Amino acid sequence: MRVLVVEDARSLAAVLAEGLRDQGMAVDVAHDGLDAAAKLDLNRYDVVVLDRDLPGIHGDALCQMITARDDRAMVLMLTAAGSPGDRVSGLGLGADDYLGKPFHFPELVLRVHALVRRRPVARARTLRAGGVELDAARHTATRDGRLLDLSVKEFALLHALLRASPAFLSSSELLEQVWDEHADPFTNTVAVTVGRLRRKLGDPSPITTRPGVGYRISEG
C-alpha cells in the first residue's frame, strides 16, 4: 500500500509518515500543494492523507484534482477545521473520509485501511497463489495452512507479489510499492527481504527469480 501524506506542519508530517511506515505502508510526504501535485503525477497512490489548508495549491483544489483522475487515490482529508459544516463541505469536494485534528493515530490507520478496501479497483481481500494465502484486512498469511510470522516489510513484499501474480515485479517496482521514494535504487534491500521471506515460506519456494526481470509467485 502506498500513501501520500500532504501536510505543511513538518513535525506532524514526520510523525504521520513514521507511524504509517511502522504499519508496513510505503509513505511519501509533501509539505505543500505544488509538491503534492508533482508527486501525484509521478506515482500511483492508494490513499492521500490531505491537510486542507495548504500553501501553493489549497487542499480543496488538490482534492478536486485527485478525484477528477480516472484511477484516483482515495482521499482522507485531515484538518483542524472539524465542525459538521466543514466535514460536509470537505466531503462535497470529493474527499472519501474526513478526520479532524486532534486525532488518535490508531483511528487514522483504521480509516486508511478502510479506504483501501473501498477502492473500486481493489482486489479480493484474500489473495492466493503457490499455496500461499494472504488476508490483507486481517494481516495474516499462510503457506499450505501454516501461519507465517512475517515482519511488516516481508508481509508487504508478499502482498505485492501476490497482487501481481503471475507477472514478475522488478526490484525497482518492489522498491516503489513496498518502500518509498527515499529508498536507494542501488540497495540490495529487496534481495535480502526476498531471501528472508523465502526462508519463512519454506521449500519448495513459491517465489521465482528471473535475472534481469525480477520476482514472481507462480500460480502452481
Paired residues of 73 in beta bridges: none
Fold of 126-217: Arc Repressor Mutant, subunit A (1.10.10)
What is the reported pLDDT for 173? Answer: 86
Spatial contact of 50 and 78, defined as CB atoms under 8 Å apart:
yes
Sign of CA dihedral 178, 182, 185, 191: negative
Is the pLDDT score of 111 beyond 90? yes
What grid cell was written down for 173? Answer: 517496482
Does the pLDDT of residue 1 top 90, yes or no? Answer: no
Q: Where are the domains of the chain?
A: 2-118, 126-217
**Which tens digits make up the pLDDT trace of 120-165?**
654 556 888 989 999 877 789 999 999 999 998 999 999 989 988 8
Question: Distance (Å, rounded) from C-alpha 143 to C-alpha 200?
Answer: 9
The dihedral region occupied by 30, where left means phi > 0, alpha psi between -120 and 50, and beta the remainder, is beta
Can you give the pLDDT at residue 201? 94
Predicted confidence (pLDDT) per residue in 186-209, tens digit: 678 899 999 999 999 999 999 999
List, for residues 165-182, the tens digit of each pLDDT value.
Answer: 888 899 988 888 888 766
pTM greater than 0.85 = no
The pLDDT tens digits of the residues spanning 68-102 come to 877 789 999 987 755 555 555 656 678 899 888 88
* pLDDT for the residue numbered 191: 92
Q: Which residues pair with 6 in a beta bridge?
A: 30, 50
CATH architecture of 2-118: 3-Layer(aba) Sandwich (3.40)
Residue 176 has a pLDDT of 80
Report the C-alpha gap between 52 and 78 in whole angstroms.
7
Share of the chain above pLDDT 90, in %: 49
Q: Alpha helix (H) ranges present in 10-165? A: 10-22, 33-42, 59-67, 84-92, 105-118, 152-164
**Conformation bin of residue 160: beta by default, left when phi > 0, alpha when psi is -120 to 50:** alpha
Pick from 5-9, 50-54, 150-154, 188-192 the range whose average pLDDT is largest: 5-9
pLDDT level of residue 118 (50, 70, 90 thresholds): confident
